[in-house]
Amino acid sequence: MVVPAKSLGKPPADRPSAAGDRLTEAIELLFFAYRDFISDPDEILAEYDFGRAHHRVVHFVSRNPGITVAELLNILRITKQSLARVLKQLIERGFVAQETGKQDRRQRLLYLTASGRELEERLAAPQRARVAAALEKAGPGAEDAWRTVLLELVNDEDRTEVEHRIARAPVEQR
Amino acid sequence: MVVPAKSLGKPPADRPSAAGDRLTEAIELLFFAYRDFISDPDEILAEYDFGRAHHRVVHFVSRNPGITVAELLNILRITKQSLARVLKQLIERGFVAQETGKQDRRQRLLYLTASGRELEERLAAPQRARVAAALEKAGPGAEDAWRTVLLELVNDEDRTEVEHRIARAPVEQR
DNA sequence: AAAATATGTCAACATGGCTGACATAAAATG
DNA sequence: CATTTTATGTCAGCCATGTTGACATATTTT
């Protein structure tokens, strides 16, 4: 233990890293958890020749049937050109359908098709199982704490919106 | 648990998505939290013309002074060619230093230089602040729950290793 | 001496971000 | 009603970072 006394300057253990830093450990845990969490659907996506970008779109369209392109962009925080690439493929191959908005005919409301819903369920299944197992192992009460911390990690400006998004009827108005 | 009769017709609200699904909500929260969490260091990285890949390397070298290339690859789960690209830049520009292993002279042990430590601290600061604030808001006990759930999200095969990694003296033997 | 291991490197390719420019249709506005 | 703004789409090209496959070198292990 005790790293070799090492090169240039202080042996690292003063503060920002090395051992015993609860905060850094929490940050690192988030990396590992997320790394494995997002690895689940990759094999399924590969069957379809899709990537993680497609997964995100399928997920959020599933969660927000009738979502507009603008809303989706706001969630994903990517450019419309980036979104267009994957969205086009999802539409061409029949996983996502568009409908012209009724109030505002400029909008393209997005929905999953039957195939899209099937894909979504396949992708979600392993992630749901993983989270369910983790929450169960962590015991009762862990879920609330877990959710609270995650929500608090979100940018202040976005927290209200996220809060609404994660528990609500299908979409909003339209 | 029981994937409901699927759909094809019904307005989505039966299970996989829409409202009222605690598990799906938790998954989505993880997306939003991670989205904002990793956005913090981006501006700092841009100053150096570095990307997130560089951040990851700096972080794990900081946390594991003297780590070998093979260990780093195992953590990051990328190919050595991918790692080589960013590692080379970090070394050339003086943020990471290499040393030949003393027991095994084939190994290249990695360390942060003084500049590397400085960069690491700059990058870590906003993330530490964000996590600290979130844990505080969530109240006492939240941290343990949070850590437990994250650890349980990790692949079974990797959990022991991650456990050792997040709380331990610098590296192992070498 | 031979095989295995740790690392590095070259080349080519894919995904999914990005910027900038421009086009169209529909809605909103004065 | 003419003009402007908004929602969306699209073309072209660039960049970061992931991938595979092949091969080279030094060192350790067998």
CA atoms within 13 A on the CB side of B125: 9
pLDDT tens digits, one per residue of B89-124: 999 999 999 999 999 999 999 999 999 999 999 999
Chain B, 29 to 88: residues with Cβ < 8 Å from chain A are 29-37, 39, 56, 59, 62-63, 65-66, 77
Of all residues in chain A, what percent carry a pLDDT higher than 70?
84
With distances taken from each CA to the C1' atom of nucleotide C27, the closest residue turns out to be A104
Check residue B25 and give its pLDDT: 94
- Give the integer Cα–Cα distance in Å for A96 and A115: 8
Q: Are B28 and A165 in contact (CB under 8 A)?
A: yes
Structure tokens at A160: 């209200």
pLDDT tens digits, one per residue of A20-45: 589 999 999 999 999 999 999 999 99
- For residues B45-71, average pLDDT: 97
**Which DSSP helix (H) or strand (E) runs through B113?**
none
Check residue B168 and give its pLDDT: 60
Nucleotide nearest to B76 (CA to C1'): D18
pLDDT tens digits, one per residue of B10-53: 333 344 444 458 999 999 999 999 999 999 999 999 999 999 99
B62/A137 CB distance under 8 A: no
Which residues from A are below 8 Å from B165, CB to CB? 28, 32
Tokens 């560089």 sit at which residue? B54
Class for the domain spanning A30-166: mainly alpha
- Give the integer Cα–Cα distance in Å for A138 and B160: 16
Residue A168 at interface with chain B, using a CB cutoff of 8 Å? yes
| Whether domain B23-138 has CATH 1.10.10.10 | yes
Q: Which of B62, B150, B48, B50 is CA-nearest to residue B112?
A: B62
Nucleotide nearest to B67 (CA to C1'): C6
- Give the integer Cα–Cα distance in Å for B166 and B63: 9
Of residues A138 and A13, more confidently modeled: A138
